[in-house]
Structure 1
Amino acid sequence: MRSDFDENYKVLEFKEFGDEKGNLVVAEGSGFDIPFDIRRVFYIYGSERDIKRGNHANRYTRFVLINVSGSSKVLIDDGKKREVVALDKPRMGLYLGPMVWKEMYDFSPDSVLLCLASEHYIESEYIRDYDEFIKEING
């Protein structure tokens, strides 16, 4: 799925192929399905339903979140509006651009949330205080 990624966040749907042997989902980087070169991959699993993960914004890293197993919800806040996206299909991804506050929660017991990142981990580009995030957004 090629798409315009001018938005701060966007739901993506990847190609899925299936037959009697099972299903295969394809997500290619470098501007095809994933709008960036992937420099870091990590995943979250074993989180209880009432645990919140994330709770931060990034100054320049972009992400795509995919629940490859189970489900979770993501609260997205761009400083102007808040929205909740349910990730409950392995062919569905959520693109998050820079300066988007994110909170992942409501993990199903079998949830595995795969995170693809445009940058290596750099602690200094994380904003972990919501009030600081709002100050930076409003300049």
Structure 2
Amino acid sequence: MASVPYILQFDQFGSPSEGFITTTQFAERLPFAMRRVFWTYDTPIDVLRGNHANKTTEEVLVALTGTVTVEAETKAGKNTFTLSSPVTGLYIPAMCWTRISFSPDAIVLCLTSTDYDQEDYIHSYEDFSRLIGRI
């Protein structure tokens, strides 16, 4: 399991005249066994999503349409990523605090390593900072 976020590239098949398909068929390229899939859409531009970390869940975010900006913080530091292509994903490790902003037309797909469990979420930035040894 990686401890820092990083960009993944997915294979794209097709052509401009026929359209394209991107697939997770080659699942060994994902950094975890996929357990759950969900998507976020119609997020108002002034809403900042995320604002949490997961204790054990790993994720890959893909902007299917539009653009999302992800601020990601781990024990190793902070990084900002911009996703705007359905062939690019962002791996988010466990214990990574995220803040995500969306363009008005953004649809974001999320692949996760676990099923939803409210107990896995850290909603307090102070608690997150304490757990990673920052305070």
Is 1:100 aligned with 2:101? no
Q: Identity of paired residues, percent?
A: 34
Q: Is the 8 A contact 2:3 2:74 kept in 1?
A: no
Equivalent of 1:22, from 16, 19, 22? Answer: 19
Per the normalisation by structure 2, the TM-score is: 0.91
Is 1:40 aligned with 2:36? yes
Provide the residue aligned with 1:90 in structure 2: 86
Provide the residue aligned with 1:115 in structure 2: 110
RMSD of aligned Cα (Å): 1.6
Q: What do residues 54-98 of structure 1 show as CA deviations (whole Å, max 9, x unaligned)?
A: 110011000000011111110101134211100101100000111
Q: Is the 8 A contact 1:29 1:35 kept in 2?
A: no
CA gap of 1:35–1:29, structure 2 versus 1, over 3 A, is farther
Provide the residue aligned with 1:49 in structure 2: 45
Question: How many pairs align?
Answer: 133
CA gap of 1:132–1:48, structure 2 versus 1, over 3 A, is same
Supply the AA of the counterpart residue of 1:117.
Answer: T
Supply the AA of the counterpart residue of 1:115.
Answer: C
Q: Moved runs in structure 1, 4+ residues, more than 3 A?
A: none
Supply the AA of the counterpart residue of 1:82.
Answer: K
Supply the AA of the counterpart residue of 2:24.
Answer: A
Mark the runs of 5 or more structure 1 residues left unpaired by the alignment: none
Q: Which piece of structure 1 moves more, 71-80 or 59-68?
A: 71-80
Q: Is the 8 A contact 1:29 1:38 kept in 2?
A: no
Mark the runs of 5 or more structure 2 residues left unpaired by the alignment: none
Q: Aligned equivalents of 1:52 and 1:116: distance in 2?
A: 20
Residue 29 (structure 1) shift: 6.2
Q: What do residues 19-63 of structure 1 show as CA deviations (whole Å, max 9, x unaligned)?
A: 221011122464x22121211111110012221111100110000
Does the residue aligned with 2:132 lie in a helix, a strand or coil?
Answer: helix
